Homo-oligomer: A and B are copies of this chain.
């Protein structure tokens, strides 16, 4: 992943061969524009002009067009024929809905994992991050650094389960949910400081259920686990203790 400290699409990258360099320019440009959009370098609704982008990126319009099309089909951009691409606006309602969708998908992934059994490497990965989380949360105080560290642990846990589900379409769809801003499980912890321990305990229970091949329990636990973040998000967004959805 490109350095996040500077703009992903600043330089034509003259001699900086340090970057991994994707197989094609289209792919590398896709990555750079995606990073820039997710980093909020364009305001929501802003149009992305092909020529301007191609000049900033030092490539022709062809790979830029390809990248924009990719990002539009990911749901990150909006496309209108003959009118180009614009950064998609996500309403609060859409962000909240994305959590509901993700809850269903991740619940299904947990069920699949329970039904199909955990491969050895996934089992190891999960036990490792569970232990790491135990250590981290044993500390009396959780500072900024700890929460960032836990965010990575959280991501690894969920990814291991997606992988254990062994269902490509499901993985694709969950990834699509993460393209909605603030809906990624990497961002989860930020507005949910106090409940990290509860979430971690959820992880333990989910793992237990999957190990025990208890598909129903795994599904229900995961569904509640993800959906509870939605509740926290709504609370945080509205400032009210129990928010009523406003569309």
Contacts and interface: CB of A to CB of B under 8 A. Distances in A.
A160 interface: no
A73 B75 contact: no
B23 A169 contact: no
Contact of A173 (B73, B82, B101, B108): B101
A104 B168 CA distance: 16
Nearest to A65: B66
Nearest to A179: B169
A109 to B, nearest CB: 10
Contacts of A98: 169
Interface in A171-196: 172-173, 176-177, 180
A167 B97 contact: yes
A101 B174 CA distance: 11
Given A22-B81, A23-B81, 19 more contacts: A24-B82, A66-B69, A69-B69, A75-B169, A94-B167, A97-B112, A97-B167, A97-B169, A100-B108, A101-B108, A101-B169, A101-B173, A104-B104, A104-B105, A104-B107, A166-B247, A169-B176, A169-B177, A169-B180
Interface of A: 22-24, 27, 65-66, 69-70, 73-75, 81-82, 94, 97-98, 100-101, 104-105, 107-108, 112, 166-170, 172-173, 176-177, 180, 247
